[in-house]
Amino acid sequence: MARFNWEDSLSVKNALTPEELDIQETARAYCQERLLPRVLDAYRNEDYDSEILKEMGSLGLLGATIPTHGCAGVSSVASGLIAKEVERVDSGYRSGMSVQSSLVMGPISEHGTAEQKDRFLPQLRDGTMIGCFGLTEPNHGSDPGSMETIAREHPTKKGYFSLSGSKTWITNSPIADLLIVWAKLETTGKIRGFLIERRECPPGTLETPSLKHKNGLRASITGMILLDNCPVPAENMLQVEGLKGPFSCLNSARYGIAFGTMGALEDCITRARTYALDRNQFKKPLASYQLIQKKLADALTDAAYGTLAAIHVGRLKDDGEMAPEMISMIKRQNCDRALTGARALQEVFGGNAASDEYHIGRHVANLFVVQTYEGQSDIHSVCGPFVQGSQGVQILHKLASECDVLVENYIPGSLKQYDLDFKSINKINPTLVYTSITGYGQTGPYRKRAGYDVMVEAEMGLMHITGSRDGPPVKVGVAVTDLTTGLYATHSILAALFLRQRTGKGQHIDVALSDCQVATLANIGSSVLISGDKDSGRWGTAHPSIVPYRGFRTLDGDLMLGGGNDRLFRILCERLGFPEWATDSRFASNSSRVANRAVLEPLIEEVTVTKTTKEWLDILENSGMAYAAINDVKSTLEHEHVLARNMVTEIQHEACGPIKLINSPVKFSESSPGIREAPPTLGRHTDHVLEQMVGLDKKEIAVLREEGVVT
């Protein structure tokens, strides 16, 4: 039987991976060696050392769950353990870190453009740029939907917005280089996030005064954000609309709070236990009294339970199976138990608890604030779906009952909690074809991983065989895996509908980017399977077993030449002006040309570079061999053959006027498919669908839109 270890009372370590344990140990060593020695002075003086973020950045502790831009890309549990070790020293230090990681780096990573990510994430990761998150307003507290901060088109600066309003209780705002501010668009009333760079703000348009004389979190810096017609470029607007943007970030931060408070409680337990063992009253240690032991036992139990709950929710979060209400539950519960436990343990110190040298009073003051911010405890006890159900789900169920096809691309398992998975929908409409398009499919060890075209290109072989012979792997110039997956999905849906005509039954179609990419390896994949050998690597524009068959430089561009057999090679030699090459023993057959590729191809290019691409096209005209100019995209879309095939069409867009688009590539003999109108703007058909298919009236739809249920 194992011995009881009070420092890990429920063997929490057994629930962690070796990597997570290493990360926790690294974070603990840093916090105890670098943060603890300076926390008392920081707390007494309400002083926050911004170098702390640089120190954390150097250890990879900032934005730790982000998998790109040099961030660590670790599990949610690992990020929670970091928060726990920082808050073991002080909640204010954890608050500063959480804002940087979850509330600044998080929304940029999740909702930012590629340019925004490239500009800001590396600096935020290293702590050389400090960020803050401006949502709470003086008059609206827990009701951000009533915010008064307004973003209107700038009257004089084209391509800019002008922001006016105020935010309060904003961690890091007095020292922030980058401020994420949430504001309502004057034109639509929709809430959007803006990235405000302090150095770009004209004098008087942005002020961030500190809020002093706080009772808690004194080791962090807190302030306001005051905006007076502050100009912000439109390109600095995040790509998310409504409160789901800030709320998704807050959920990540709240998860860190749920984990972090357990660190503060554990520190209170350790300090109270040490004090109770050392302090003698009535000729024996305080720890010998059962009342003291009960306080320690209660707190120890709460800390262990709270940590295990946070680990469990973190696993669900990474698996895509976490409901947002779970975050509210553990944030509310762990904050409450940490504050209750800290207050009870404070009594162990008697009058000494009043001295900050014992640290317990600081934890109590901090935990009171932590229980209040990012959603006061009572707010987190309101679980709407538990009481009234989800209007959005009800609408989707009604639509599913009327439709033939449903397409979704959520991580497998995540729709089950909303009764929107295949089994639930199939009960509502057994004839519906339910199609799931995901990165790695509904089964297999990677099924819970998020999938992106370029990642699948890399992992499933395409990137390895793409690029120049001696160069690194490169991605294909368009999202070819996304495109092929869409085509496979479309064909599969049509086949399922055809089968339904005979059986009367719908079915679940599982389409994965990874599967579709493996399928497109085609002859190269078959060759490897049959031979058992590795592939021959990257060939650039060349063919591995036919020479010449590649691109060659010309005087002003590039030209693709294909001498696919001996007859065509002879024609090429004649048109190049070197007919003798066709009878040269080194080049007389394809096998000899392949063997002497390194000799023949440079000889050809010495000739092709002497003339322009157009001149070579004229020379090769009517030769019977394969050849082509290597055109850029603009030249392609202006190509006479492309235009003759009606591959460019013009349509009328409701916002942009006439625009040109690439047309459908398929020509039918008995019908005329093609692009007839522009893609609808977001929400354009919402009213029509809800009226005609769900049976709602305009007033009901207006209420749903106001509540954010529909767009």
| Sign of the Cα pseudo-torsion (110, 114, 120, 125, in order) | positive
Give the count of beta carbons closer than 10 Å to the beta carbon of residue 128.
Answer: 13
Residue 101 DSSP label? I
End-to-end CA distance of the chain: 59
SS3 517: helix
Q: Taking a C-beta distance cutoff of 8 angstroms, is the pair 302, 341 a contact?
A: yes
Tokens 């990540």, residue located? 252
3-class DSSP string for 478-496: CCHHHHHHHHHHHHHHHHH
- Calpha distance 153→162 (Å, rounded): 6
User: Mind giving me the DSSP string for 434-459?
Assistant: EEEEESS-SSSTTTTS---HHHHHHH
Q: Residues 87, 241, 374, 605: which is the catalytic one?
A: 374
Is the bond preceding 412 in cis, omega lying within 30 degrees of 0? no
Structure tokens at 165: 């309003």
3-class DSSP string for 528-539: HHHHCCCCCCCC
- Calpha distance 573→53 (Å, rounded): 66
Give the count of beta carbons closer than 10 Å to the beta carbon of residue 353.
Answer: 19
Say if residue 492 is exposed, middle or buried (CB neighbours under 10 Å; 0-12, 13-18, 19+).
Answer: middle
Write the CA distances from 257 to 71, 81, 232, 541, 690, integer angstroms.
Answer: 21, 11, 31, 53, 40
Structure tokens at 3: 């011995």
Question: What is the CA 43 to chain-centroid distance, rounded?
Answer: 35
Q: Taking a C-beta distance cutoff of 8 angstroms, is the pair 223, 179 a contact?
A: no
SS3 406: strand
Q: Taking a C-beta distance cutoff of 8 angstroms, is the pair 198, 234 a contact?
A: no
Structure tokens at 263: 């660190």
- Calpha distance 105→115 (Å, rounded): 14
Q: Taking a C-beta distance cutoff of 8 angstroms, is the pair 500, 426 a contact?
A: no
374 is catalytic: yes
Residue 169 DSSP label? E
Q: Taking a C-beta distance cutoff of 8 angstroms, is the pair 186, 64 a contact?
A: no
Give the count of beta carbons closer than 10 Å to the beta carbon of residue 682.
Answer: 9
Tokens 């004389």, residue located? 213
Contacting residues for 95 by C-beta, under 8 A, at least 6 apart: 171, 217, 220, 370
Q: Which residues are catalytic?
A: 374
